[in-house]
Structure 1
Amino acid sequence: MNQNILVVLGHPNPNSYCAQLAETYSEAAKKSGDSVTLLKIGELNFDYNLNHGYSKDKKQELEPDIIKSQMLIQNADHLVFVYPSWWASMPAMLKAWIDRVFLPGFAFSYQKHSPFPKQLLKGKTARILITMDAPTWYYKWFNRSPGVQLLKHGTLEFCGIKPVKVTYFDQIRFRKQNTLDKWIKKSERMGSRGE
């Protein structure tokens, strides 16, 4: 069954390995019949600061690229996030985009007398493709996967998106070209299956 897929590239460098993974995934998904949008955060124009938090009194104006991002998420069946682990988390621009896009009233809403939100993005699934220089075991066991925890549990699942699957590409700096090429093929396979 064909689906709408939103691929979010969270690396600012358009020539990065993350960009190759995102573009390969996108092209493979298109060839299999899915409708795909590749959203490159580095090309968007928006204020990185959530200036008033979630204040009811002062609302921050949503720039056209933030409105477009919300529409793309709303229309997507499956979201794919591709980004590098920097300082065990994610690039600042991706975190800023999350802060500005996943707002109350769009992604979730607070409920009186409950610590649990009303999840407004139910029915969608997601995949995280994360690159890093560290070994996966070090990132998981010593760092405790902070970037993945933030995105998977703290954002996507909080808003009702699940399951969220994670694929790690580790020790990028030290890998030989044949391994990097093999991982590009892996991204292509995932894209062709829409997973």
Structure 2
Amino acid sequence: MKTKIVVVAGHPDPQSFCSALSDAYMEGASGSGAEVRKIDLSRIRFDPNLRFGYRQRTELEEELIEAQKWIRWADHLVFVYPTWWGAMPAVLKGFIDRVFLPGFAFKYRKDSLLWDKLLTGKSAHLIVTMDTPIWYNRWIYRRAGIQVMKRNILQFCGISPVRVTELSPVKPSTEELRRKWLDRAKRLGAKAAGIK
């Protein structure tokens, strides 16, 4: 059976380097036999705010219903996004707030502090760009934004393992280095095609 992969392109600019990384990853994965779908957050339109919190249901836009369908379908999820102010962009956070809902991604148990992880059986990979040097993000900031995405969101919902690839610093990087990063994303996609 082919590995089913969903790539979430989490940069609001369709001409960003993150978009190019997403495409390179998809090329490597599909070229190695995986079935691949892309959720491009620069292209879909939705309200990123969970208007009523969990007090009242906020109806999902058609594109978010479609996103939930593809996430259910996938064996492996890939999130490609930049680090801004130590965390993911607002569009990606809004997507998670609206899509990873109780009843879809997790379910609290009645009269309990425990919860059911509804996305168990899936794995994930974060490909994260930043301008902060990787060593500084790791030792000074303690990878705070990555830990939120990995532990507090994905693992909370049962997605494991969650691997991380950090690419930095992007702003002063040369064309040659960016080509190497694109090649690396393509290799990661090819490798993921065989994970099932």
Range into which the TM-score falls when normalised by the shorter chain: over 0.9
Q: Deviation at 1:146?
A: 2.1
Of the three residues 171, 177, 183, the one matched with 1:179 is: 177
Of the three residues 152, 156, 162, the one matched with 2:154 is: 156
Q: Which one-letter code corresponds to 2:109 in the other structure?
A: Q
Aligned to 2:137: 139
Give the structure-1-normalised TM-score. Answer: 0.95
- CA RMSD across the alignment: 1.1
Q: Output one character per residue of 1:4-41: Cα deviation in whole Å (capped at 9) or x when no partner.
A: 10000000111111111100000111111110011101
Q: Distance in 2 between matches of 1:66 and 1:150?
A: 22
Task: Please state whether the residue corresponding to 2:146 is helix, strand or coil.
Answer: helix
Q: Output one character per residue of 1:107-138: Cα deviation in whole Å (capped at 9) or x when no partner.
A: 00001343231000000000000000010111
Q: Percent identity?
A: 46
Give the structure-2-normalised TM-score. Answer: 0.95
Q: Which one-letter code corresponds to 1:59 in the other structure?
A: R
Q: Whose relative contact order is higher, 1 or 2, with alpha carbons under 8 Å and at least 6 apart?
A: 2
Aligned to 1:25: 25
Q: Which runs of 5+ in 2 are unaligned?
A: none
Q: How does 1:3-152 map to 2 (within 5 A)?
A: 3-55=3-55, 58-152=56-150
Q: How does 1:162-173 map to 2 (within 5 A)?
A: 162-173=160-171
Q: Output one character per residue of 1:147-167: Cα deviation in whole Å (capped at 9) or x when no partner.
A: 211211111000000000000
Q: Which runs of 5+ in 1 are unaligned?
A: none
Number of equivalences: 193
Moved runs in structure 1, 4+ residues, more than 3 A? none
Q: Which one-letter code corresponds to 2:87 in the other structure?
A: S
Q: Deviation at 1:79?
A: 0.2
Task: Please state whether the residue corresponding to 1:118 is helix, strand or coil.
Answer: strand
Q: Output one character per residue of 1:94-118: Cα deviation in whole Å (capped at 9) or x when no partner.
A: 0000000000000000013432310
Q: Which one-letter code corresponds to 1:73 in the other structure?
A: I
Q: Distance in 2 between matches of 1:22 and 1:16?
A: 10
